[in-house]
Structure 1
Amino acid sequence: MGELNPAQTVIRLPDRIAWQAPPDAPPRSVETATLSGGEDADGIYLVLMKWYPGFMSAPHFYRTDRLCVVLSGVWWCNSGPDFDPDRAVAAYPSSYVRRVAGTPHYDGARPDAPEPAVIAICGLGPVEQTWVDPSQPRLRRI
């Protein structure tokens, strides 16, 4: 009586969260950890994204809205199809950012950041990510 039932309450401690970099990403640029569902599957998903200092995404958009909360670090965000990291806006821990479906944006962490930016992202899949200019690199060192 009174003991946690792991079939009813699932807890995954930080050291048990599996972070993965995209296959074409430079080392220590960006990593994700899927906590529930999947961005490529139907239904709700929850992922963590970690942006290492000095990297940003190229402008892109999604088919569905993405609801984001900054957990740690500073996440630099901007909207629009033109990549201009100097005009990005800082989102500090506990900030909420909604990425509206079909609207181009980009984001990441400044080179002088003392730590990576970690963001929790929730939405409905599949997200169907689209790059504004697929001929350009998806990740940018800034």
Structure 2
Amino acid sequence: MLLASLLATLPAMVVSEAEASPINSAQTVIQPPADHHWVSNKNYPERSVDMCPLAGSLTEPGLYLTLVRWWPGYMSAPHTYITDRLCVVISGTWWCNSGDDFDPASCVPVPAGSFVRRVAGTPHYDGVIRDHAEPAIIAICGMGPVGYKLVDPSKPGWRPV
């Protein structure tokens, strides 16, 4: 009986005497959304696609993590990467397809919360259809450098849809 009574009061004793350590910004780096730095691609139309690098670099060796925001009415032209890309749709709906033939009508809608793996060396394209209400934000992780290559380099890397 004494042991049961002691065990019943133990959680309250531990909680009341515990103190949380203050967060160490050198050990845990937090960047709220208001502090994200979105950058438009100078080779693309305004409000077509933006990137927000969070860690690493697409062009340097090593792990990277970036956010990509596709605005409605634009898609990438078919292209490849030399490394896999792991993608999670954060918000909106991303429209994806594989292959080197650009056919937006055949794209698959990928809703928020979905995972997409872009396999190295395989042609693909993506973006947001014109009549969609909001942009799609995608978190993309992989190993750099990505070695971006257009299937048809005589055309721009973006397409209006």
Which of the five TM-score ranges fits, normalised by the shorter chain?
Answer: over 0.9
Q: Which has the higher contact order (CA 8 A, sep 6+)?
A: 1
Shift of 1:48: 0.2
In the TM superposition, what are the counterparts of 1:29-40 in structure 2 within 5 Å? Answer: 29-40=48-59
Q: What is the CA–CA distance in structure 2 between the aligned matches of 1:46 and 1:60, rounded to whole Å?
A: 19
CA–CA distance in structure 2, aligned partners of residues 106 and 42 of structure 1: 24
| Equivalent residue for 1:56, pick from 71, 75, 96 | 75
- The normalised TM-score by structure 1 is 0.98
C-alpha distance in 2 between matches for 1:122 and 1:24: 22
Q: Name the structure 2 match of 1:73.
A: 92
- TM-aligned CA deviation for residue 112 of structure 1: 1.2
Unaligned runs of 5+ in 2: 1-19
Matching residue within 42, 47, 61 for 1:42: 61
Greater helix fraction, Structure 1 or Structure 2? 2
| 1:112 counterpart residue number | 131
Structure 2 counterpart of 1:104, one-letter code = P
Q: Distance in 2 between matches of 1:24 and 1:40?
A: 17
Corresponding letter in the other structure for 1:83: F
Aligned residues: 142
What residue identity is the alignment partner of 1:51? W
Post-superposition offset of 1:71: 0.2
Give the counterpart letter for 1:46 in structure 2.
Answer: L
Distance in 2 between the 1:111 and 1:10 partners?
36
Which aligned runs of 4 or more in structure 1 are off by greater than 2 angstroms?
none
